[in-house]
Amino acid sequence: MKKSPNILFFGIDSLRSDHMSLYGYDRLTTPHIDKYINDGGIVFENMFSPSIPTTPGYASMLTGLDCFGTDCVALRHKGQLLDSVKTFPEVLRENGYTSTCIGFGGNAGSRGFDNYISYGDWEPNKAANMNDVALPELERLTNQDKPWLMFMRHMDPHSPYYAAEPFDRLFYSKDEFDPDNKSLQPVYDFKPFCDYLKSWFPEGCTDAEYIIAQYDGAIAYMDACINQILEKLRDLGAEDDTIVVFTSDHGETLDEHDCYFDHHSLYDNVLVVPFAFRYNKFEYAGRVSDYCQVKDIMPTLLSLLGIDSGISFDGRDMTKSITGEGIKQESEFYITEATWMRKHGWRTPEWKLMIALEPDFHYKPEIELYNLIDDPCELHNIADKEPKVAEFLKTRMQEHISKREKETGRTNPMYTNLDWNGFGRPFKSSDEAYNTLYIGSSKTAKKLQSKSKD
């Protein structure tokens, strides 16, 4: 009997598509991924992860459901996913697959894999540490009779940005200790993050561009290590029988919007992520401009595998967009964040509305409105100038919330998850949020990212 296709899934953490050369970035950060995908693969140009951060992002990616369907919106999600939800590896198991998850145990969205492998995901040389365990596991999976899924959570674009030599200077040739450069001073003045960031910034570093170059260098380093995995797949003779997927749970804020080398907020640098795949037995190649979301990934992959799960997904099968068959468009959608701030909003191709559900530690206004055509970098809040637009978008958002609450039989999790911050209460003021939220160290940050706060 013919073996079903395997899935080699690069579920990269904190990778924003606009810092990939695959998506036109002027720094050559992903040359190996570029070459692999551009030689017969598919690139989705407008992919969004609408529920920030990690936990809801991966939950949606690996269930095909939105945040109402998973009931998961917060980084510090309590418990597991709903019992009624089937994850991607659980569906694959029912269809004869085995699965391995590398670097993503202990998280609600990672339920259902047969094997879990950890690696040095918060240590220097992250991608090489990944390869130390991924390469032998890939060989083991390939040598078995069953089709397989290998899911890898690369952490190189996630802070701390560890760009190994020579990647640390690949995109930077100036003096990062220039005393006349004050671009990092706002970062050092931000109490909630300053000690964590100082723990991995070079002591005395003054230039924000150097830290951005470390983010880009870490991506380039990861890309080189990923090529080893792609070469191994080819050497094992499994390339033609494997769907290779690249995506991310969310993007990253660098020095934009005062959010400082993290992935909170609802600006597009956090929402826009890559999605690309290559399957040599799929006859189509090229780029797809239709808007899509991470909830579309699972139904799309199941379609490529020829598996009918019987699940009523919130996501769509995007192969129909590739083949020209056509698909219902979703160009406007609900957005949420429960990382270091609790906000939600509504995004259309022209407008972005963001509403704070409680005061945030950046002292930002309760309502933010941006015209994405005139102001694509979201620098000018025009909520006061365009109150009718803000009210119209708010109405659209509320109609969507009511519709999804009725369909799921549950209240919007953005309203019910009041312990999103790990302190058991919403914040009453920005001062309270500023003085309460504190990372402190890489150890604390790793704990927050890997599992619910105890």
- Rounded CA-CA distance 163/175 in Å is 17
What pLDDT does 454 receive? 35
What pLDDT does 453 receive? 37
Question: Looking at the chain, how many residues does it have?
Answer: 454
- Show Cβ contacts of residue 377 under 8 Å, excluding neighbours closer than 6 positions: 256
Of the three residues 283, 303, 323, the one that is the final residue of a domain is 323
Residue type, 298: M
- DSSP-derived letter for residue 168 is G
> Bridge-partner residues for 9, per DSSP?
151, 245
Residues 314 and 356 in one domain: no
- Rounded CA-CA distance 34/100 in Å is 25
Residues 131 and 272 in one domain: yes
- The helix (run of H) or strand (run of E) holding residue 89 is helix 88-94
- Rounded CA-CA distance 119/42 in Å is 30
In a domain, 34, yes or no: yes
In a domain, 1, yes or no: no
Alpha-carbon distances, residue 43 vs 62, 132, 167, 320, 377 (angstroms): 19, 28, 26, 14, 23
What DSSP string runs through 252-300? Answer: -BSSGGG--SB--SSSHHHHEE-EEEE-TT----EEEEEEEEGGGHHHH
Copy the structure tokens of residue 141.
């999976």
Place of tokens 């399957």: 279
What pLDDT does 347 receive? 98
Burial (CB < 10 A; 0-12, 13-18, 19+), residue 228, is middle
Of the three residues 323, 355, 376, the one that is the final residue of a domain is 323
Residues 187 and 239 in one domain: yes
Helix (H, G, I), strand (E, B) or coil at 145: coil
Place of tokens 């379609």: 303
Residues 226 and 356 in one domain: no
Count of domains forming the chain:
2
281-287 LR contacts (CB < 8 Å, sep 24+): 281/5, 281/240, 281/241, 282/42, 282/243, 284/42, 284/322, 284/323, 285/40, 285/41, 285/42, 286/42, 286/43, 286/322, 287/42, 287/43, 287/44, 287/45
Place of tokens 């890939």: 138
What DSSP string runs through 16-41? Answer: -GGGSGGGT-SS---HHHHHHHHTT-
In a domain, 111, yes or no: yes
Residues 85 and 65 in one domain: yes
- Rounded CA-CA distance 312/82 in Å is 15
Of the three residues 323, 348, 364, the one that is the final residue of a domain is 323
Is this prediction's pTM over 0.85?
Answer: yes
**CATH assignment at residue 250:** 3.40.720.10
pLDDT tens for the 454 residues of the chain, in order:
468 999 999 999 999 999 999 999 999 999 999 999 999 999 999 999 999 999 999 999 999 999 999 999 999 888 888 889 999 999 999 999 999 999 998 888 899 999 999 999 999 999 999 999 999 999 999 999 999 999 999 999 999 999 999 999 999 999 999 999 999 999 999 999 999 999 999 999 999 999 999 999 999 999 999 999 999 999 999 999 999 999 999 999 999 998 899 999 999 999 999 999 999 999 999 999 999 999 999 999 999 999 999 999 999 999 999 998 889 999 999 999 999 999 999 999 999 999 999 999 999 999 999 999 999 999 999 999 999 999 999 999 999 999 999 999 999 999 999 889 888 889 999 999 999 998 876 666 666 655 443 3
Residue type, 369: L
Alpha-carbon distances, residue 74 vs 61, 204, 224, 369, 415 (angstroms): 15, 34, 32, 23, 11
Q: How many helices (H) and strands (E) does the chain have?
A: 15, 14
Q: Which of 363, 384, 371, 386 is nearest to 437 (CA)?
A: 363
Residues 272 and 362 in one domain: no
Cβ neighbour number for residue 11 with a 10 Å cutoff: 26
- Look up the domain containing 338 and give its range: 333-450
Residues 249 and 370 in one domain: no
Dihedral over Cα of 102, 106, 107, 111: its sign: positive
In a domain, 239, yes or no: yes
Alpha-helical runs (H) found in 95-172: 126-142
* Cβ atoms of 10 and 154 closer than 8 Å: yes
In a domain, 377, yes or no: yes
Q: Which of 453, 454, 422, 448 is nearest to 54 (CA)?
A: 448
What pLDDT does 325 receive? 87
In a domain, 101, yes or no: yes
Residues 312 and 202 in one domain: yes
- Show Cβ contacts of residue 409 under 8 Å, excluding neighbours closer than 6 positions: none
Residues 344 and 298 in one domain: no
In a domain, 328, yes or no: no
In a domain, 247, yes or no: yes
**CATH assignment at residue 378:** 3.30.1120.10
Q: Which of 407, 299, 420, 414 is nearest to 346 (CA)?
A: 414
Residues 182 and 233 in one domain: yes
- Rounded CA-CA distance 142/135 in Å is 11
Residues 282 and 396 in one domain: no
Residues 301 and 166 in one domain: yes
